[in-house]
Every structure is written in C-alpha cells, then in structure tokens.
Amino acid sequence: MVKTTELSERFDAPNRLPELKPNYNVAPSQTMPAILPGDSNNTIQLMKWGLVPSWSKEPQTRFSTINARAEGLEDSRLYQRPFKSQRCIIPADGFYEWQKTSDKKIPHYIHLKDKQLFGFAGLYDIWHAGQPDELYTFSIITTSANSFMQSIHDRMPVILEKQYEEPWLDQSIDDAALLYSFLKPYDNAKMTAFPVKTDVNNVRNNSPELLTPNT
C-alpha cells in the first residue's frame, strides 16, 4: 500500500495526511488521494471517485462519472471547465481491467514493470451548493488502448508520462491541443499484467491476496 510519505516524495507534495489504510480493491464512490497544484509545491487532497459538477443540485449524479473519455473534453458541459483549469493526478501503483471472453470476464491486474508509482490524468470539481463543507470529486481520463492493453480491453486509463505531470497540473496552461498531446496511450514496453481471481469482483474483498496471479 502506498504511504503518504511516498506520495509526497514522488509527486513533490510536502503536506501530510493521516496515514491511508491499505486498499487493494478501490471502487467508485470511495475517497482516494489526488495531487493538486499548490502555490509553490503540489498538495495531496482526498477526493471521492466520481465527479460531481459544481452546478449540480445534489452531491451526486444520475450517471457514471468515474471515467471521462479523452475525446471531446473541451466540448463537454460536464468536463469543459475542469479540463481547462481543474486538472489533477490520481496516484496508483496498478489497476484492474476485465477481459471479455465468450462466456465470462477475466480480471487482470495491470502495473508498470518497474513497479513504481505512476499518475492517472484526472479532472476534479468542488461541490458545495451553499453547504459549509466542500465536496472534492474526480474522474479518471481514459483513451484508446495501446497494443498491449488491446487483448484485455479497448480502452485504458491515461497514465501520464512523468515529464507531462507538471504541465498537466499547471493551471495557467489552457491550450487544448497541448493538453490533448499528454492524453495518449502509455508505452507498451513499460507495462505488464496477469490474471487474478474473481474475488476482486466483490468490493468487500480487500487484501493483498487479490494481487496473487491466477495461473
């Protein structure tokens, strides 16, 4: 499990949060750490997975906002403003994806070959609608699958190349063409995957054993 000290070092975010509990099966609506730009350094902010737009009348949506397709973000009523000025990074060391076969879906655990932390490209918004507390929520941007991922799924989350992380967080950058250039499929050669047991299908299962290869 990633510790906040590791997040701080990897993403230049010196603030400290209460130590995070191990989570081997992250699910929508759960609260996770995200990286936001600060005045001089980045900062770690806890956010709920599933973006709620600031203009929503309720702190929820009637449709899924856990993922945002990279295509057309600048024209989306939901994502247009976050894409322009409310971009974030969602730290991770791996993710699950399900491969469809003729009769079932096989879960796979995907990670980098060097097992290092990486960052998903994310968008966030802040909802309060007159309430005293602000609700931070986020979506993870997806793009077309690279050739490595295509055998598992036709889409994949955008993993930012490290050199793109700083400009992605830079709120002064609003050039859509430049931002889109960051949202490309990740390098095949840096990724690996293996099938895992269907225990991961139940969010109540949350232990290191979920990451055991199912051979």
pLDDT, one tens digit per residue, over 92-103 is 999 999 999 988
Q: 164 exposed, middle or buried (CB, 10 Å; 0-12, 13-18, 19+)?
A: buried
Res. 19: pLDDT tops 80 = no
Higher pLDDT, 129 or 65: 65
Mean pLDDT score, 138-152: 97
Reading the block at residue 52, the tokens are 């709620």
- pLDDT on residue 132: 78
Which residue carries 């690996």 as its tokens?
Answer: 192
- Domain 4-93+115-145+155-185 in CATH: superfamily? SOS response associated peptidase-like (3.90.1680.10)
CA distance 206 to 21: 11
Amino acid at 23: N
Quickly count: other Cβ atoms within 10 Å of residue 31's Cβ. 14
Give the other-Cβ count within 10 Å of 169's Cβ: 20
Mean pLDDT of the 5-15 span: 89
pLDDT at 46: 95
CA dihedral 90, 94, 99, 104 (to 10 degrees): -100
Q: What is the pLDDT of residue 22?
A: 82
pLDDT at 206 over 80: yes
Longest Cα–Cα distance of the chain, Å, equals 52
Q: Are 196 and 108 in contact (CB under 8 A)?
A: yes
* Sheet of strand 105-112, all strands in order from the earlier edge strand to the far edge: 95-100, 105-112, 191-195
Q: How many CB atoms lie within 10 A of CB 172?
A: 7
